[in-house]
Chain A
């Protein structure tokens, strides 16, 4: 079976481009050009050079010996936390800024929840000297002040999204409205594998450098390219898409997606989209999303702002529906405990998003000789306040 996108922009039943006509010219321009541009030699060269010299790739694949011992299996960490700006997000923004330049766009817009994608976008805009406008929910601006300051230092304009629930989904709505209002000179850098086709595929391709490197690195360390399992946290799902990418159609490699259960899947305060969502349309994509019976999109909850999204990328919706992916949800408390444990055992403080992926080992058992690769998608600096509050540090 093929788990990649098909030529119509669908992953199984999910994906497509359910967009108002006002967005059609821009999305169509991107759809017609993105593959050609990405395959250009000059694009490849510039992209790879920046990933190496600016982002700091390849990121290490690190065998976490003490953490592994604890769970009696072999756990490797793909160190995306060591990327410039502190998370995998920059792989995509580097790719998209180069894309925007080739499409002749001079103005960049983006949405951000916790601010990681906003910072990664502001960073590449500074690098390329392009105007940058970041939409961020008013509530998120208040609780993520350091990232707002970072974006401002990098020269970006941060515009508060005051509509709806004033968080990530509303910031995304505002960014889309901006794109409607500025159809000629603007490129929208979406931060995850969500949105209308070709975004999910384009972002997944930019993030696929993660699994491309894992294959080579694992061959060196274990004498084989394929692990037994790949594990990643999923909000929209971009770090997961990057880690799964080259293993999607290789069914010997188990795919594990970890969602945020918040205070518990049935608590009413959760972001576990696969468990709670139904098929529908959010931000131009047919996928699984959390919604009322009447089809109104609901506000999710997670202690981690990066997993606090009511939908999930169409690739992941398809992995869930077909059973190709194993979906596990992890509560706030379990994630926080795993974050602390990794810090003590390995000297690595992970982002709380990432800590969700690490928390599965408490309940999900693996064989002793299983090779499990976990995407360590981001570092925990931005989450110190949350750690401090949670553990009374």
Chain B
């Protein structure tokens, strides 16, 4: 069974903590040590960011980490080389999150095949809309047992959430608020109402909240009605400040 599906079913009570980081940041060879440390620190799932020159949906923190990673010489090929033995050391679900153009240039099928060989379980491609996925790429994802993860936002209509739910095989990535990544405002009544509203829709796919989660408080708020939360920018900031030291110290603050 796909590791994401397994993780989602494992313990119905458990709120999942998922961490995003940009591959090749802060140092080019940090990718594997970061993944290993995150697993040791009790993280449930990891999103490995494939850096892109023009990350439209990202705020300054992830933009900068992507620029640094690219300057460090990160490429799609190099990421797969770094990850080639990852399944000897790590057993939690691993996803790759990246914009579509680098994947398109690598070749979508070749990319998916490499993911399968490496032990990647799912893909989050923010600028690949669900319609394009269903039309052109669903069969390829299936062939290599990769779960597609789609985003919803507070502005996504109920009808569209249902369509996204039926295309989803793992979880739905619930964007907390109308913003790019790295929001620092905390969650107000509007967000809480949105978390509640969508959680009551009776969707098949569990909801995991991302964008704007940075500490224990926002993690708790985000997961009150959902299955888990994803932390990206706050973790990148930790890496900027401390390098790869004391990753466990970061996750301990969250829960």
Contacts and interface: CB of A to CB of B under 8 A. Distances in A.
The residue in A24, A182, A282, A291 that gathers the most chain B C-beta atoms within 10 A of its C-beta is A24
Contact of A284 (B67, B77, B127): B127
The residue in A164, A169, A284 that gathers the most chain B C-beta atoms within 10 A of its C-beta is A164
B135 to A, nearest CB: 9
Contact of B178 (A22, A283, A293, A298): A22
A190 interface: no
Contacts of A16: 132
A25 B157 contact: yes
Contact of B126 (A21, A25, A164, A278): A21
B230 interface: no
Among all A-B residue pairs, the 10 with the closest Cβ atoms = A295-B105, A295-B102, A21-B151, A296-B53, A20-B57, A25-B155, A20-B126, A294-B75, A183-B178, A295-B101
Given A20-B151, A22-B151, A181-B178, 5 more contacts: A22-B155, A24-B153, A25-B155, A25-B156, A294-B77
Nearest to A289: B101
Interface in B150-166: 150-153, 155-157, 160
Contacts of A295: 52, 76, 101-106
Contacts of B90: none
Contacts of B77: 294
B129 A18 contact: yes
A296 B102 contact: yes
A12 interface: no
Contact of B60 (A163, A169, A296): A163
Interface string B37-64: 0000000000000001111110110010
Contacts of A282: 54, 101
A109 to B, nearest CB: 14
A177 B77 CA distance: 29
The residue in B103, B104, B129, B151 that gathers the most chain A C-beta atoms within 10 A of its C-beta is B129
A280 interface: yes
Contacts of A294: 75-77, 102, 105-106
Interface string A314-350: 0000000000000000000000000000000000000
Contacts of A284: 56, 127
A199 to B, nearest CB: 14
Interface string A11-43: 000001111111011000000000000000000
Contacts of B100: 18, 281
Given A177-B180, A180-B57, A18 B127 contact: yes
Contacts of A291: 101, 105
Contact of B152 (A21, A177, A181, A297): A21
Interface string A143-169: 000000000000000000001100001
Nearest to A294: B75
A176 interface: yes
Interface of B: 52-57, 59-60, 63, 67, 70, 75-77, 99-106, 126-129, 132, 150-153, 155-157, 160, 175, 178-180
A173 interface: yes
Contacts of A17: 129
A24 B102 contact: no
A96 B98 CA distance: 32
Nearest to A26: B155
Contact of B127 (A19, A164, A296, A298): A19
Nearest to A293: B105
Contact of A20 (B53, B56, B76, B132): B56
Contact of B54 (A21, A173, A182, A293): A173
Nearest to B128: A18
B126 A181 contact: no
Nearest to B52: A296
Nearest to A183: B178
Contacts of B156: 21, 24-25
A163 B178 contact: no
A21 B76 contact: no
19 contacts: A18-B129, A19-B127, A20-B127, A20-B151, A21-B175, A22-B175, A24-B153, A25-B156, A163-B60, A169-B54, A183-B178, A184-B178, A279-B104, A284-B56, A294-B77, A295-B104, A295-B105, A296-B52, A297-B54
A180 B178 contact: yes
Given A164-B53, A293-B105, A295-B106, A180 B179 contact: yes
Interface string A261-294: 0000000000000000011111110000001011
A283 B53 CA distance: 12
Contacts of B180: 22, 177, 180-181
Contacts of A170: 54
A295 B75 CA distance: 9
B101 A297 contact: yes
A21 B101 contact: no
A13 to B, nearest CB: 12
A34 B127 CA distance: 23
A280 B103 CA distance: 10
